[in-house]
Amino acid sequence: MDTQIYGFVGLGLIGGSMARAIKRAEPNCRIIAYTPHRETVDAAKADGIIDEPVYEIGAAFSDCDYIFLCAPVELNNVNLELIQPFLNKKTTITDIGSVKNSIHDKVKELGLEDQFIGGHPMTGTERIGYKNSKASLLENAYYILTKTENTDEQRLEKYRDLVKKMGAIPLIVPYKQHDYITAAISHVPHVISASLVNLVKDNDSEDELMKTIAAGGFKDITRISSSSPTMWQQICNTNADNISELLSKYIDSLYTIKLAIDEHDSEQLFNFFATAREYRESFLDIASGPIQKTYVLHVEIDDQPGRLAKVAVLLSDHSINIKNIGIVHNREYERGTLRIELHNKKGLEQAIDVLSKDGYTVTVR
């Protein structure tokens, strides 16, 4: 089998994670990458993730079997035009954007419908940039594929196989439906998250007491506000109709519940929270669903020097890999002074066993 060549135009959090996953699955493949920031591709070369850093879009991409457009959504359209003169007919060109209408329109305009398949890995973190990328980011995440009117089924099937090699779950969705779905489960929530943060900022006291005592629940639902402002500006610009429609529906629902609060309508208030709880709970056992399952435990520890380190060392001595660890300063909605997140169910079960046997009080939410 010929060595596969993969090209990346952009190498941030998602692009970098995909390059890592591909290199892990196909160690002998060849990966070339371009970004406007030379230090990014140089770092990826030093890490052994890419084989050739490229400092401009040009003929270096002519031999690629796949080219991934991994810049913000509006820049992908620009980069597609720049790379078109160098495209080989064998090349499958794709993107990773969370909005598909715009790129599909550009593909049709450029006459590239037979070579383009839209892609959207449904994964990420609030952190950005290549330095935060990791192959595991793709594992068990839905990876949406969007066809054109001229998509070749054999080309599509090869792309599906590549997605599986990356550890993700391919799912074919019509691109217009994709944009409505992502508006509901991703874009509108980001707008709401940012609005909640600004609500606290604009109404906090001079000593920032709200900010100081913000509970775990507030931090959880606003975590995504740490994402790139430029990326979300472009997403709102390119998926404006869907976001606006769903925001209108959300505003209507907020007004309805505001009236229930004003009128002390206990039955409507209970139903509001009960139906949300029931639907939200239905996500918990779907590891690759819209809300990823987390493996978290809480541990009671004394507020003494070295207590946190002792727990971390204990887990390390038993080869238990910690994903995240931290002190819970405000425990209004949390039990346990130490919050530990593991990578998977096996790690969670091992950690519970080890800590419990060592005399710690462990709570799993």
Please enumerate in sequence order all residues whose Cβ is within 8 A of that of 46, keeping only pairs 6 or more positions apart, or say none.
none
Instruction: Provide mean pLDDT across the span 163-167.
Output: 94
Q: For the ranges 26-35, 137-146, 296-305, 311-320, which has the lowest average pLDDT?
A: 296-305
pLDDT for the residue 329: 60
pLDDT for the residue 215: 66
Q: Predicted confidence band at 331 (pLDDT cuts at 50, 70, 90)? A: very low
Which residues, listed in sequence order, are joined to residue 325 by a DSSP beta bridge? 340
Instruction: Provide mean pLDDT across the span 250-259.
Output: 96
pLDDT for the residue 365: 66
> Quick check: 240 pLDDT over 60?
yes
Question: Cα torsion at 92, 95, 101, 105 (round to 10°)?
Answer: -50
Q: Predicted confidence band at 332 (pLDDT cuts at 50, 70, 90)? A: very low
> Quick check: 273 pLDDT over 90?
yes
The whole-model pTM stands at 0.76
Q: Identify whether the C-beta of residue 15 lies closer than 8 Å to the C-beta of residue 129.
A: no
Q: Residue 170: which of 117, 108, 116 has the closest Cα?
A: 117
Locus of tokens 């775990």: 216
Q: Predicted confidence band at 295 (pLDDT cuts at 50, 70, 90)? A: confident
Question: Three-state SS for 120?
Answer: strand
Question: Three-state SS for 163?
Answer: helix
Q: Identify whether the C-beta of residue 74 lies closer than 8 Å to the C-beta of residue 51.
A: no
Mean pLDDT across the chain, nearest whole number? 89
Distance CA(209)–CA(207), nearest Å, equals: 6
pLDDT for the residue 288: 47
> Which CATH code fits 178-262?
1.10.3660.10
Residue 89 identity: K
Distance CA(74)–CA(102), nearest Å, equals: 8
Say yes or no: do domains 5-173 and 295-364 share a fold. Answer: no
> Quick check: 63 pLDDT over 90?
yes
Q: Predicted confidence band at 308 (pLDDT cuts at 50, 70, 90)? A: confident
Q: What is the homologous superfamily of the domain 295-364 according to CATH?
A: ACT domain (3.30.70.260)
pLDDT for the residue 263: 97
In sequence order, what DSSP letters do the residues of 225-281 get, joined into one string?
GGS-HHHHHHHHHHSHHHHHHHHHHHHHHHHHHHHHHHTT-HHHHHHHHHHHHHHHH
Locus of tokens 């699955």: 25
Q: How many CB atoms lie within 10 A of CB 97?
A: 27
pLDDT for the residue 326: 81
Distance CA(224)–CA(194), nearest Å, equals: 8
pLDDT for the residue 184: 95
Instruction: Provide mean pLDDT across the span 245-263.
Output: 97
Q: Predicted confidence band at 315 (pLDDT cuts at 50, 70, 90)? A: very high
Q: Predicted confidence band at 287 (pLDDT cuts at 50, 70, 90)? A: very low
Distance CA(220)–CA(170), nearest Å, equals: 28
Q: Residue 348: which of 308, 297, 286, 292 has the closest Cα?
A: 297
Instruction: Provide mean pLDDT across the span 58-75.
Output: 94
**pLDDT tens per residue, range 89-128:** 999 999 999 999 999 999 999 999 999 999 999 887 767 7
Helix axes 229-238, 188-203, angle to 10 degrees: 130
Higher per-residue confidence, 94 vs 363: 94
Which CATH code, of 3.40.50.720, 3.20.20.150, 3.90.1150.10, 3.20.20.70, is assigned to 5-173?
3.40.50.720
Q: Identify whether the C-beta of residue 300 lies closer than 8 Å to the C-beta of residue 336.
A: yes
Q: For the ranges 31-40, 113-122, 206-215, 244-253, which has the lowest average pLDDT?
A: 206-215
C-alpha dist (Å) from residue 27 to 5, 21, 117, 165, 168 = 12, 10, 24, 12, 18
pLDDT for the residue 1: 59
For the chain, what are the domain ranges?
A: 5-173, 178-262, 295-364
Distance CA(35)–CA(22), nearest Å, equals: 18
Question: Three-state SS for 53?
Answer: strand
SS3 content of the chain, % helix, strand, coil (to 5): 50, 15, 35
pLDDT for the residue 282: 79
Distance CA(71)–CA(78), nearest Å, equals: 10
